[in-house]
Amino acid sequence: MLNYKKILYCLFCGLVLAALLHVIIILVLPNFSQNNAWYRISKNIKPYTFTLLSNKRFPDGRPLISGQDPLFISAVCWFDLNDGPLKIEAKGYAPYWSLSIYDNISTNHYSLNDRNTNPQHLNALIINDVQEAKLEENQTKDTNQISIKVTFKKGLAVFRALRPDATWDKQITEFIKSGSCRALSN
């Protein structure tokens, strides 16, 4: 004999379990998604090298990273602050450029553009708390350098520059290619 009261109670408990699982799945999904930008980039591109995103495609022709502004030339560099603070530099000119720092679930933590700094010289240092404290001890401050403090270790730096039309191709590509991205010793 089925106990309907008990079954109803179980259905209710099932719904509570569903709600709980829903919250857990939604919260952890970005970390486990094998489709996210970090996973795609760290599997296909060398670390500490700005690599042009326009050249990177899946074997079936899809771009590695979707949803980019087609009027831009962009390069990406992936890093792990466990290796040391990250120094990013580039010299050149573009009508507009920007640097964005993402963590390993594609959250854009920080972005700066040509109007926030010397427009012809990108000079930034990505550091975490511990590294910042160390850096302040042995003071050799580069006054032109922008320090960006982050709370994560593994991340992506994306350097984008506007290419208004094809006549700018060479200049913008050279600017992007001048970009360097290296770990300073800890």
Partner 1 sequence: MPSIFYLSIIIIVGLIGSGLSVASMLKNSTSPYGLEINQWRADPKSGGLEANPYQRDLTAISGSLPLNANEAVTFHRATDDTGERLNFRCTYKISDEISNTRFWTLNLVDNQGRVIKPSEGYNIALYSQHLIFDTKGKFLLTLSPQPHSGNWLPIKGEGQFRLTLRMYDTPIVSNSEIFETNLPNIARIHCPES
- Please say whether the dihedral angle defined by the alpha carbons of residues 61, 70, 146 and 102, taken in this order, is positive or negative: negative
Name which of 98, 135, 136 is nearest 117 in CA terms. 98
**In the stretch 133-162, what mask flags binding to partner 1 with x, by CB under 8 A?**
-----------------------x-x---x
List the beta bridge partners of residue 116.
Answer: none
List the beta bridge partners of residue 113.
Answer: 98
At closest approach, how far in Å is the CB of 34 from partner 1?
A: 10
In the list 78, 79, 102, 175, the residue contacting partner 1 (rule: CB under 8 A) is 102
Spatial distance between the Cα atoms of 176 and 62, rounded to a whole number of angstroms: 22
**Residue 48 · residue 139 · CB < 8 Å:** no
111 part of the interface to partner 1, by CB under 8 A: yes
108 part of the interface to partner 1, by CB under 8 A: yes
Query: By the criterion CB under 8 A, which residues form the site for partner 1?
Result: 2-3, 6-7, 10-11, 13-22, 25-27, 29-30, 33, 35-37, 40, 64-71, 76, 95-96, 98, 100, 102, 105-109, 111, 113, 115, 156, 158, 162, 164-166
